[in-house]
A and B are shown apart, each in its own frame.
Chain A
Amino acid sequence: MIAHRSHIYGVIGEFEKPEQLIHAAEKIREAGYRYYECYTPFPVEGMPEAMGLRRNSVPLITLIGGIVGGLTGFGFQYWANVYSYPLNIAGRPLNSWPAFIPVTFELTILFASLSAVFGMLALNGLPQPHHPIFNAPRFTHASSDRFFVCIQARDKKFDLADTARFLQGLAAQHVSEVHDD
């Protein structure tokens, strides 16, 4: 069994409707599986709850990006106008902060947006040109009209025959193994 396992990424099952997949995900979690993943053609409402996903850290990364952007924007203008190249124009204050607000605002938005997008991609491990799940025979439907769940071989509870039977018991169609290479 061990030797066999090294070639297997997991077992995949297919559903026609998003509600069926949500139901299946709940059952899989209840059955004690930890390493499994659902694949859907659009973000299904209720899916994160069914899989027990915790809040993700994209918002925190975005907040940090925004704060860094705002501080950079204001700090840079302050430094440039007060220290690096002070221009005394009719005795007006060098730190003319109201005039620095537009650039500070724009850089806050810019840094926060870049952090949101690149943070999301980094947490998702993208770009990742290949993944074993693409070996699943009908997986091209995951980007159009079918809902998949894959229980991975690295799960302690995983057993090829048992897990496949378990998925079939959840009314999954086209249950098949996914190879690693």
Chain B
Amino acid sequence: MSAGQPPINSPEIQRLTPVLGPGHTYASVTDKISAIVLTRKTSIGWYIGFLLAFSVFGVMNIAIGYLFMKGVGIWGINIPIGWGFAIVNFVWWIGIGHAGTLISAILFLLNQKWRTSINRFAEAMTLFAVACAGIFPLIHTGRPWYAFWMFPYPSVMGIWPQFRSPLIWDVFAVSTYGTVSLLFWFVGLIPDLATLRDRATTKPKQIIYGMLALGWRGSARHWHRYQSAYLLLAGLATPLVLSVHTVVSFDFSVAIVPGWHTTIFPPYFVAGAIYSGFAMVLTIAIPLRKAYGLEDFITMRHLENMAKVMLATGLIVAYGYFFEFFMSLYSGNKFDVFLVNQRLHGPYSHFYYALILCNILIPQLLWFQKMRTNVAVLFAMSIIVNIGMWLERFVIIVISLTRDFMPSAWGRYSPTVWDYATLIGTMGMFVMLIFLFVRVLPAISIAEMRELVTETAEEHK
């Protein structure tokens, strides 16, 4: 940095690190984003990455195929630990799936312009994470071919699901969330699909994108209704995104198991979900902008803002951990006090310390702007936070279930190779879907970037 430059946090620098690089026009943003899908040659790196992810996805299919043949006995679950990796992974993935809708809906309502270039792939990430999450409740049922019993349908048995159970609330929350996220994503895509249709170079592409674009022609009357619908969707998705992890936390907090039965669970689950979701958006955004040269669109400002959201939600999570502890001790309930003791000194205490390290201690580095603007640090941090959030769910589920009320009901849990194969396999599926997505659909909303061009042009006047 030369001597003449202003200090790093001054308004000038804020202005110089905009949400959109300088010199862009309607045509240039359109060209640059649509070219990734339509004209640029698929790089060898894409093929290698896709094949790797695809092979890991294959591992998942083998693991699930073998599970269907043999049953849940191939996993490490036992009595009393009936909820092993499957539910840990479910809660982890569904948490990751929160950032997309948060960025799309809440930041949209708050008129945060920096959301524009990250919302599309964050929404896609949400969908894929929900898809990964959805696998686990299904396969952990033991007899997954009866999974449709969870939905209320007029069966010959003449009975209905137990609507007073959080597990049924979960079915409704997650399926509604998946559906609304898909709608939100697709509505946002319609104008961009029309762009791809109009710029497609081959007949098959024209036909496929044309059908998906539903005949969108950019008519002002259509835009008028489109904007109403989009705003309403954002308004509807906002309480929805907060409700989903709340309902997931009810799966635990409505039960009377020590360590689960606490009222702080809903808010701290939601904060944790946003925390891990933003971490995953960073994990994807950093390689994506590098690979496709999108530094103009996903600028340092985006990365820094995401780091700030991570820091804030991470602190809420830390507050949750602290009060979970405090309330257990303050209550004087001997089972709760014992559980705290078990977290700190029990057989799984190393997981608990690793969790505190990953989720609370290391992310404090984000207080420093030097760290927030260092891409390598952010990338490493995003991975660490996601490991931490996975450990959090492991600690909640396994420690509580292995240390129930009576010593005769205590147990131990150790996952098998099939547990790991399924977890890693879903990661493969997730990465594979991301690879496919950036190849066939615009990873950044082109229509919204054009709006941003207009707005930044006005700001520079």
Contact = CB atoms under 8 A, between A and B. Distances in A.
A99 B450 contact: no
A117 B184 CA distance: 9
Nearest to B174: A106
Given A40-B218, A56-B224, A145-B26, A85 B158 contact: yes
Contacts, number: 186
A66 B198 CA distance: 36
A66 B235 CA distance: 12
Contacts of B222: 124, 126
Interface in A27-46: 37-44
A118 to B, nearest CB: 9
A151 interface: no
A110 B232 contact: no
Interface string A71-94: 000001100110011000000000
Nearest to B451: A42
Interface string A5-16: 000000000000
Contact of B179 (A47, A113, A142): A113
A112 interface: yes
Given A18-B454, A85-B159, A120-B226, A51 B220 contact: yes
Interface in A99-133: 99-100, 102-103, 105-107, 109-110, 112-114, 116-117, 119-121, 123-124, 126-131, 133
B416 interface: no
B179 A77 contact: no
Nearest to A37: B219
A173 interface: no
Contact of A96 (B152, B164, B191, B194): B164
B148 interface: no
A144 B30 contact: yes
Contacts of A40: 218, 220, 223
Contacts of A51: 220-221
A109 B236 contact: yes
A144 B247 CA distance: 42
Interface stretch (B208-216, B319-327, B335-343, B362-370): B208-216
A126 B229 CA distance: 14
B215 A113 contact: no
Interface string A127-153: 111110110000110111100000000
A99 B183 CA distance: 28
A142 B218 contact: yes
Interface string B141-168: 0000000000010000011100110101
Contacts of B237: 109, 113
A96 B199 CA distance: 57
Contacts of A42: 191, 223, 447-448, 450-451, 454
B247 A102 contact: yes
B346 interface: no
B180 interface: yes
A112 B159 CA distance: 28
A85 B447 CA distance: 51
A119 B243 contact: no
Given A41-B447, A145-B30, A56 B228 contact: yes
Interface string B173-198: 10010011001101100010011011
B26 to A, nearest CB: 4
Contacts of A124: 219, 221-222, 225-226
A39 B250 CA distance: 48
A145 B27 contact: yes
Contacts of A133: 217
A39 B220 contact: yes
B227 interface: yes
B396 interface: no
A2 interface: no
Contacts of B176: 106-107, 109-110
A25 B191 CA distance: 22
A144 B195 contact: yes
Given A102-B169, A143-B191, A39 B229 contact: no
A85 B155 CA distance: 12
B49 interface: no
Given A99-B163, A144-B27, A145-B26, A123 B172 contact: no
Contact of A143 (B164, B194, B239): B194
Interface in B223-256: 223-229, 232-233, 236-237, 239-240, 243, 247, 250
6 contacts: A41-B191, A42-B447, A42-B450, A56-B225, A58-B228, A116-B232
Given A43-B451, A120-B229, 9 more contacts: A40-B220, A42-B450, A43-B447, A81-B163, A102-B250, A107-B172, A129-B210, A131-B215, A144-B26
